[in-house]
Amino acid sequence: MVRHWIFISLLWLPLGTATAQTAPADTSAADRPLIESIPLETGAASLRSTPSDRLSLTLTLSSDAATQVYDQRDLALLPGRNTVRIEGVPSQVKLARLHWDLPADRSLIRLHATAAQLQATLFADEAGSRRLGLRYALPELEWQINYQLTIDETDTASIQRFLTLTNHSDQPFANPEVVITTAHGEWINLRMGGTLAAHGRLKQPLGESMPVSATTQLLVSGRADQPTDRPLRQPVEQRILLNDIDLQWPTGPIEVMQTLPSGRVTITNHANLSAPDASARAMAITPVERNIAVTRTLESVSSEGTEQIQLNWQLQIHNRESQPVTLQLEEVMDPRWTLIEASGQWLRAGRIHSREIQIEADSVEEIEISVRGPFTPED
């Protein structure tokens, strides 16, 4: 009778109470993160990122900073940790100069470089192809704007601009996009056609050749404020003035080409092109072969008081050519010095005293110049 009563009592207990007793809740297990029970996959150790994976390559050139490289690539990652060998980055780049642009769901765990390779360890939440950006400064990549000036016998001229990249690093750069920045915050975009080889050079024209107004002068330049103990033979140079010019690019070396009557073009000289002045005029001075001899002789030195001296010069100009020539004479002097006496009419512009002189064929001209200034040289 007692056993029947116990059995009947169990039938009347609530169902939930019976269940709780047979399957108690494990609250400690519910609080643990599920990621602990999912093993992370490991990416293949042979993953490589090569220059063939590049989506874009940009070189930013500036006159006051090292060349900046931005290398954007398509990188395939597996879920979990990935060890990737990064190829195509110059060995000259230090880790401190290397910066990474990674998608938000990617993280760089470790970056390691040896003499043989650059290796990165990255973590990915999921597999897939993602963009990877590498930024670094590369002082070993130098650049220059070059000019080529072509002049014919009538002084009709045209100018062509070039960009020359010189790569002193051990990695090539194929078809880079180039951004040139200026000190005024301006920038110029262009794409280079071809590969800038390791330890190589790449030169590309910038637009078409442009007509330009050019004037040439025969120039003889000296320093009348610097005494000498023997006669000096002075060279005759050619000054090329480019009038009303807007370069739009930094100045640089200029190659002067001459068109001969036969139509053949020959290289005559190399020089440096100056920046345009306030009158939009740029200048280049080149050596020139002319049958003209100029000799400068210091004839006497005299004291003027206790603090100044006077130098008396003679310039002898012998034109051995069969036609008259016109020379531009210039004396560059310390601003504290003055031109006391000189043959002909001289003009002064800042530190330069100048005059123009015409010399007949096969004749000699002698010019006297006297200057006065302090004993002490200019600081």
pLDDT at 36: 39
DSSP symbols for 56-119: EEEEEEETTEEEEEEEEEEEEE-SEEEEEEE-SS-TT--GGGEEEE--TTEEEEEEEE-SS-EE
DSSP symbols for 156-204: EEEEEEEEEEEE-SSS-EES-EEEEE-TTS-EEEEE--SEE-TT-EEEE
Element (H, E) at 258: strand 253-259
pLDDT tens string 335-351: 999 999 998 899 999 89
pLDDT tens string 96-137: 888 988 876 667 788 888 777 888 888 888 888 888 899 999
pLDDT at 101: 86
Q: What is the C-alpha to C-alpha distance for residues 378 and 228, in angstroms, rounded to an integer?
A: 17
Element (H, E) at 212: strand 210-222
Q: What is the C-alpha to C-alpha distance for residues 149 and 252, in angstroms, rounded to an integer?
A: 12
As beta bridge partners, residue 136 has 69, 98
What is the architecture of the domain spanning 290-379? Sandwich (2.60)
Q: What is the C-alpha to C-alpha distance for residues 238 and 288, in angstroms, rounded to an integer?
A: 6
Q: Phi and psi for 276 in degrees, rounded to 5?
A: -60, 140
Q: What is the C-alpha to C-alpha distance for residues 111 and 324, in angstroms, rounded to an integer?
A: 73
As beta bridge partners, residue 342 has 369
Structure token digits, residue 62: 């500036």
Task: Map out the domains of the chain as residue ranges.
Answer: 47-137, 290-379
> Are 357 and 367 in contact, with CB atoms under 8 Å apart?
yes
- What does each C-alpha distance from 135 to 49, 51, 375 come to in angstroms? 15, 14, 56
pLDDT at 251: 82
Cα 209 to chain centroid distance, Å, stands at 22
pLDDT at 106: 66
> Are 268 and 153 in contact, with CB atoms under 8 Å apart?
no
User: pLDDT 10s per residue in the chain (379 long)?
Assistant: 444 443 334 334 343 333 333 333 333 334 433 333 334 444 444 689 999 999 999 999 988 889 999 999 998 888 888 889 999 999 999 888 889 888 766 677 888 887 778 888 888 888 888 888 999 999 999 999 899 998 877 768 888 889 999 999 999 999 999 998 876 666 778 888 889 999 999 999 988 888 988 888 999 999 999 998 899 999 999 998 888 887 767 788 998 888 777 777 777 778 888 888 888 888 899 888 889 999 999 999 988 777 899 999 999 999 999 999 999 999 999 999 999 999 889 999 989 999 999 999 999 999 999 999 997 766 5
